[in-house]
Structure 1
């Protein structure tokens, strides 16, 4: 059978090539299982155990996209810092109506959260070009060469 695939490996001229994203999707499966058990006498509670996970072939794991960093952690840290800072500002029984300990703890949390957010954002922006390159990259199953046609 002759393949109509116009893309060939530049190394070995083989036609058994696939996009990395297809290899990743084909080699990754999500698993979910439920098991119920009841005592043999029929009395007593039944027990239900649920599990879920992901199975991935070694090949799929080796062709994954470049990692990104999540922004949720720094956003939560900034929000918690804002709440602590606000709580420190609304007390009236202290010097200038400010609980300075809470004020500085909140300010530190906000500062660390904003710095973390900016660093993660910059990292993700730098990874964008690598992600776009990954989306266009093919792999030859015969010789293992990765290439962009």
Structure 2
């Protein structure tokens, strides 16, 4: 694939750039210790770490994200809890439930209708390693 800006062939699909610069981290460590001084003691611990490490280029080449439902669920749950109150508290609870439902609906619409085409566009995008241009080219 040739870059449309500088004609370099040093290009890669964004998906390859992203996955090449992303590493999963999964470590386990063990610690053992002892002490004495009036009483003798021994103890130990096992620590586990999970995560992800990314290069800056991989971060810039990341696929589009789906919208989260966390905020919608939080609004909805707080609204339900507030419905047990009196007067203005119950009304505010109702408004929070409505806001949570609306936000959840909007996020669902984005994830099901807009995100698939954005993701496909990302899959069809390329990066030139010579000039840094990102361009779209369906394969």
Same fold (TM over 0.5): yes
Check the 8 A contact 2:30/2:46 in 1, yes or no: yes
What are the ranges of 5 or more consecutive residues in structure 1 without an aligned counterpart? 1-6, 89-98
Kindly state the Cα deviation for residue 75 of structure 1 after the two structures are TM-superposed: 3.0
Q: How many residues matched?
A: 132
Say yes or no: does 1:135 pair with 2:118.
no
**d(CA) in 2 for partners of 1:21 and 1:67?**
14
What RMSD in Å do the two structures reach over aligned CA positions?
2.6
**d(CA) in 1 for partners of 2:55 and 2:20?**
9
Q: Hey, what does 1:21 align to over in structure 2?
A: 15
Q: Normalization by structure 2: what TM-score?
A: 0.75
Q: Which digits, 9 at most, give the CA deviation of each residue in 1:55-79, with x for residues without a partner?
A: 1111111111233320233034324
Q: Hey, what does 2:107 align to over in structure 1?
A: 120
Kindly state the Cα deviation for residue 40 of structure 1 after the two structures are TM-superposed: 4.7
**d(CA) in 1 for partners of 2:87 and 2:134?**
58
What are the ranges of 5 or more consecutive residues in structure 2 without an aligned counterpart? none
Q: Tell me, what secondary structure is at the counterpart of 2:33?
A: coil
Q: Hey, what does 1:59 align to over in structure 2?
A: 57
Q: Which digits, 9 at most, give the CA deviation of each residue in 1:68-105, with x for residues without a partner?
A: 320233034324434553x56xxxxxxxxxx4455324
Q: Which is greater in Rg?
A: 1
**d(CA) in 2 for partners of 1:14 and 1:105?**
59
Q: Tell me, what secondary structure is at the counterpart of 2:42?
A: coil
Q: Normalization by structure 1: what TM-score?
A: 0.71
